[in-house]
Structure 1
Amino acid sequence: MSEVNNELIEIRDLKKYFPVKSSFLKKKKQVIKAVDGISLTIYKGETFGLVGESGCGKSTLGRTICRLYNPTSGKVLFEGDNIEGLTYKELKPYQKKIQAVFQDPFSSLNPNMTVGDIIDEPLDIHTTLSRKERKERVKELLEKVGLKKEDINKFPYEFSGGQRQRIGIARALSTNPEFILCDEAISALDVSIQAQIINMLEELQEEFGLTYLFITHDLSMVRHISNRIGVMYLGKIVEIAPSKTLYEEPLHPYTKALLSAIPVPDPNYKIDVVDTLKGEIPSPLEIGKGCRFQSRCPLVTEYCTINEPTLKEVNDNHFVACHLVDE
């Protein structure tokens, strides 16, 4: 048995590379380093927000933690147990504790299955409940996420986008998990519906003691729900801090640029030119020496182009990977 502590998930030097098929003329094998040596800890009962531009590796990191992808190297520890090298059979007890809610609520639900069957499937796999008991559990879950128990025989196409996402959340809750990956879980929904889903997730977290990894590109929303936030850029974590600290005292130039891009309802507001992010994220196939943010950083130095920064603690629970930030 593992020693009981406050750490639910710990990843150590986690890497996930995807091989790229080269053309006939290119004999050299290439890989996309979607996740390239990340280490972090997610504590029990917290919501860890993960932000960054599209293509930075956020979703790949989340899915690798959940073992939807097998890591290229590194360790994923769940309650102290290394689940990185486990077979499907060995992984089954952990799958019950680790669930996910995905971005598109329609494509993540089987259109040929009723809502009842969709939510019942994890119960059938991971529990010993009878069919009658499972049906009652499904009805309870539907009401728990704000739907009606009479919806049990309907199909996904009969619901709105927000209702379908509630079905996805009910399915994730069915096995009484400890950890839920919310991978862009609200980005496909209307703003008013987003607020409802966020409030529901917070209520469920308080009721069941859930831990969330909340992946999003909505910087204003992640501030509301997260205890701590990690900022990811081109396969690396560049900054981690408590939510309030990150928004009030950002240290990494990339974090400052992201925060400066949040719309402000003031026509006279002027963005600091230093914090304006220019250009696009470089190709993950062409990662060179030095800092990965060097091609877009307004403060880059020659030292930055040669040496890659490491994530270091500069203040209490505030970590940053930048040569220009002093400890």
Structure 2
Amino acid sequence: MTKKDDVLLDVRNLKKYFPMGSGGFGREKKVLKAVDNISFHINRGETFGLVGESGCGKSTTGRSIVRLHEVTDGEIWFDGKDVAKMKEKELKPFRKRMQAIFQDPYSSLNPSMNVSQIINEPMEIHGFGSRQDRQDRVLELLNKVGLKSEHIDRYPHEFSGGQRQRISIARALSVNPEFILCDEPISALDVSVQAQVVNMLEDLQGEFGLTYLFIAHDLSMVRHISNRIGVMYLGKLVELAPSDELYTHPAHPYTQALLSAIPVPDPKAAAMPSELLKGDLPSPLNDMQGCKFASRCPFATDHCRAEEPEWKEISPGHYTACHLY
């Protein structure tokens, strides 16, 4: 059982809804339920993986947690403080402790600033040391992420995608955070660079005692880096388990389908199509009754289509929301 003191981040009944259009002519105003009442916690020093198809709400979840989105409802307890409803002035001390690395390093770096200015900026905002202290810190972080001191005066367009992501990581580390949102940090990188970046993130985690929320599409990479993994579908968590448990004993049909779609180095196995996941992702604007996965599930019954399944623990630390259990 997890001790309360071990939990750094505790997300409770989180909702993030986006109003879509004005309705008009007597029509009901539609709402996109990007994150729809999900709960999970992340322990100190842990990497929690969050996976699912594009549009499932995983990035919105991460951005809501670090308060880049206003929260519709729910609680986000960070080190014993609920940051969900805090105003910007109250949030500032937590901004230093909760940093983010984004999918596209080119769009997340200011093209008019050089490397020194990019990494310096968060430290200046939060009043970190003297000018010389900050410059020394920049050089130290460049070395930590595998870049050289001569890179300090260069601009983002002068680097490769992998190098730009290393600059993003150095910027996130500059203010000594405890928690880092890794929002698909490797999906825009070449395959040859992805493993280098993931291994570096693991080394930095060990050195600085960091806690990660790691969002990704690549389930094999998520297994490599994560202690526990949550699987999202249309704004809902459908399964949560320790990494190895999820991969060896997937419970929810959606998780089984995602795992069956992972390429394997076997020509015969690769030629076999997955029969578990058919059809397209339904529109999140549709107000669906019952299980949201029922329209694509090969095991769905009338019960599934009529009643939403409960979130339940099926083995120690392994949770799912499925009527099969």
Which range, TM-score by smaller chain? over 0.9
Amino acid at match of 1:247: Y
Residues 263 and 270 of structure 2 are in contact (CA less than 8 Å); yes or no, is this contact kept in structure 1?
Answer: no
Structure 1 segments unaligned to the other structure (5+ residues):
none
Correspondence 1:45 to 2:25: no
**Which residue is equivalent to 1:129?**
129
Q: Provide the alpha-carbon RMSD of the alignment.
A: 1.5
Alignment of 1:87-106 (within 5 A): 87-106=87-106
**CA–CA distance in 2 between the matches of 1:84 and 1:15?**
10
Amino acid at match of 2:152: I
Partner SS, residue 5 of structure 1: helix
Deviation at 1:22, TM superposition (A): 3.8
Residues 120 and 138 of structure 1 are in contact (CA less than 8 Å); yes or no, is this contact kept in structure 2?
Answer: yes
Deviation at 1:58, TM superposition (A): 0.5
Deviation at 1:115, TM superposition (A): 0.7
**Which residue is equivalent to 2:8?**
8
Q: 1:275 to 1:322 in 2, by over 3 A?
A: farther
**Which residue is equivalent to 1:221?**
221
Partner SS, residue 295 of structure 2: coil
**CA–CA distance in 2 between the matches of 1:79 and 1:26?**
46
Amino acid at match of 1:61: T
**CA–CA distance in 2 between the matches of 1:274 and 1:261?**
6
Structure 2 segments unaligned to the other structure (5+ residues):
none
**Which residue is equivalent to 2:198?**
198
**CA–CA distance in 2 between the matches of 1:212 and 1:258?**
22
**Which residue is equivalent to 2:60?**
60
Number of aligned residues:
323
State TM-score, norm by structure 1: 0.96
Deviation beyond 4 Å, 4+ runs, structure 1: 23-26, 270-275
- 1:44-97 CA-to-partner distances (Å, cap 9, x unmatched) read 101000000000000000000011111100000001111111111110110000
- 1:113-154 CA-to-partner distances (Å, cap 9, x unmatched) read 011101000000113411111111111111110001221111
Q: 1:26 to 1:53 in 2, by over 3 A?
A: farther
Partner SS, residue 152 of structure 2: helix
Deviation at 1:255, TM superposition (A): 0.2
Percentage identity across aligned positions?
Answer: 63
Amino acid at match of 1:117: Q
**Which residue is equivalent to 1:187?**
187
Deviation at 1:26, TM superposition (A): 6.1
Residues 43 and 211 of structure 1 are in contact (CA less than 8 Å); yes or no, is this contact kept in structure 2?
Answer: yes
**Which residue is equivalent to 1:298?**
298
**Which residue is equivalent to 1:78?**
78
- 1:234-269 CA-to-partner distances (Å, cap 9, x unmatched) read 000000001101000000000000000001111222
**CA–CA distance in 2 between the matches of 1:152 and 1:193?**
21
**Which residue is equivalent to 1:33?**
33
Residues 67 and 84 of structure 2 are in contact (CA less than 8 Å); yes or no, is this contact kept in structure 1?
Answer: yes
**Which residue is equivalent to 1:207?**
207
Amino acid at match of 1:159: F
**CA–CA distance in 2 between the matches of 1:276 and 1:149?**
51
Deviation at 1:276, TM superposition (A): 2.3
Amino acid at match of 1:167: I
Residues 260 and 274 of structure 2 are in contact (CA less than 8 Å); yes or no, is this contact kept in structure 1?
Answer: no
**CA–CA distance in 2 between the matches of 1:55 and 1:191?**
23
Deviation at 1:271, TM superposition (A): 8.0
**CA–CA distance in 2 between the matches of 1:275 and 1:225?**
28
Residues 253 and 275 of structure 1 are in contact (CA less than 8 Å); yes or no, is this contact kept in structure 2?
Answer: no
Correspondence 1:284 to 2:284: yes
Correspondence 1:258 to 2:270: no
**Which residue is equivalent to 2:163?**
163
**Which residue is equivalent to 1:322?**
322
Partner SS, residue 168 of structure 2: helix
Amino acid at match of 1:305: R
Amino acid at match of 2:129: L
**Which residue is equivalent to 1:230?**
230
Amino acid at match of 1:152: I
Amino acid at match of 2:83: I
**CA–CA distance in 2 between the matches of 1:247 and 1:275?**
18
State TM-score, norm by structure 2: 0.96
